[in-house]
Amino acid sequence: MCSGRGTNGRSKLHPYRQRLFRFVRARRIGRLRAMKTVASLLVVAALHAPLLAAPEPARDTLVGINYFAGWWEELPNKWHGHGWTAQEPDWRPQHPERVPVLGCYNDQATMDREIAAAAGHGVDFFSILWYFAPSGGKHAADVPRLNRGLTHFERSTNAPQLKFMVEYCNHADFSAVTDAEWSACLQVWLATLRHPSYLRVGHRLVFKIHDAHQFWMKNGQDLARCRARLEQLRTAVREAGLGEMLIGGGVMSRTDVKSGQYIAQVFDFTATYMSIPPVEVREQAHPYTLLAAEARAARAHHAADALPWVPYLAAGWNPRPWTHPGADPNHRRFFSFPTRAEWTAELRQLRADFQRYPTLGLPLPDGGRQKICTIYAWNEFGEGGIMAPTQAEGAMKLEGLKEVR
C-alpha cells in the first residue's frame, strides 16, 4: 500500500505531494513564494501521514486533549477581539502563533484533519466540551455551533483512529436545571455514547461534568437530587445495553476532596480542565515554569484524595487577544508559551509522577488505576491552550508528545 511505487514502476506520490508539484509546474511564481507553498503543503502531507499507518497498540498511559468547538466563521465570533463583537478587529494577524494550519473553523474537513494529526502523534482521545441551551437563554443561538465539535467527530471517516468522550460544560448559562432539561440532555448523550469510538476504561464509558461545584449549586445543594440525576443517566445507559459508566466531576488544582464531602458521594472520579496559579496580575508574561508548577503541585495535592483524580497539563495560558481592563484576574494573567525543552520536560515529569503517585488516574474494576491525563487544550486559541499545529509553532507540541511517548 505504501511501497512508494505504482504498478507501472513510476514513483507513487502522496496526493498532497502530487498537488504540490503540479502547482509549482503550472504557476510561474517567484522563488520565495514557491518555497513557502512547498513548505506549507509538505507540512499538511506530514500531518495526514497517520491515515496510512496501522493502528498503534494500546498504551500504558492514555493521553487526552480538551477540545473546544468555539470557532465559527459567522460574525460575531471569537476571532474578533474582546467580547467577540462584529465591530472588533480580527486578532489573528497580530497573533500568528495562535493561527491553526489545519483549519480556523470547526467544520467537518477541519475535524477530519485534526483527528489524523492527533492520532498520529500519540494522542488517545479528545475530551469534547458539550453545551446545553436552556430555553430562552442568551447563548441559545450559539449552542448548536459550540456543539459542532461533537457532531463532526461522530461523523468523521477518521473517527476509528481516535477515541472521544463528552465533557458536559455546565457553566451557569448552560446548565440543565429542570427535569425536562435534564431528560433532554440524556437523549443526546445516549445517542453519542453508542458511538464505537466513545472512550471506555475498564469497559466503562467515561463521562465528565465540567464543574462539580456548579452541578451541586444548580441542584439546590441537595445530595439526593445530585445522586438521582446521575443515577438516571446510569440507568438509561444500562437499559440501552451500553453497560456501566465512570462519571467524573471537575475540580480545581487546589480543591480538597475528602470523604464525606458531596463530591466524594456523587462522582466516581475528579479531573481538572485547567487551573491558573494566583500570580501577580501584570502586563508582562510570567514564565511557563510557574504554570507547569501548578499542575505538578496538583498531582501531589490530589494523590491522597477520597476519589481518584485525573491529572492535567497546561499547553499554555495567555489570553492576551481576549483580555480587556474589565476582564477577570485570570484573563489578565499571562504566561510565556513553553519552549520545546520546557514542554518535553513537563511531559516526562508527568510520566514520572504516575509512578510516584499510583493513586492518580481512573479507577479500574480490580481496584487498580488506569493511568490517564488530559492536556489543556487542543484549540483554546484565545486563551493560549494550544496543541493544534499553528503557523508560527508548527506541530512542536504534538511532536514533543510523540517523542516522550
Domain boundaries, the chain: 1-54, 59-404
User: Which residue stretches of the chain have pLDDT < 70?
Assistant: 1-58, 82-86
Q: What is the DSSP string of 118-184?
A: HHTTT--EEEEEE----TT-TTTTTHHHHTHHHHHHHH-TTGGGSEEEEEE---GGG---SHHHHHH
Distance separating alpha carbons of residues 293 and 312, to the nearest angstrom: 12
Q: pLDDT at position 186, please?
A: 98
Give, in order, the Cα–Cα distances in Å from 156 to each of 21, 100, 113, 390. Answer: 29, 19, 10, 22
Amino acid occupying residue 193: L
Contact 71, 105 (CB under 8 A): yes
Q: Would you state the cell numbers that stand for residue 275, as one nine-digit string?
A: 487551573
Rg, the chain, Cα only? 22
- The 10 Å Cβ neighbour count of residue 107 is 14
Size (the chain), residues? 405
Per the CB < 8 A criterion, the answer to whether 78 and 301 are in contact is: no
345 CB-contact burial (10 Å; exposed 0-12 / middle 13-18 / buried 19+)? middle
Q: Whole-prediction pTM value?
A: 0.86
Asked if the bond preceding 308 is cis, omega within 30° of 0, the reply is no
Residue 363 near residue 352 (C-beta atoms within 8 A): no
pLDDT value at residue 85: 63
Please tell me the predicted confidence (pLDDT) of residue 86.
Answer: 62
| Cell (9 digits) for 169 | 460544560
Return the CATH fold of 59-404: TIM Barrel (3.20.20)
* Residue-wise pLDDT tens digits, 226-240: 999 999 999 999 999
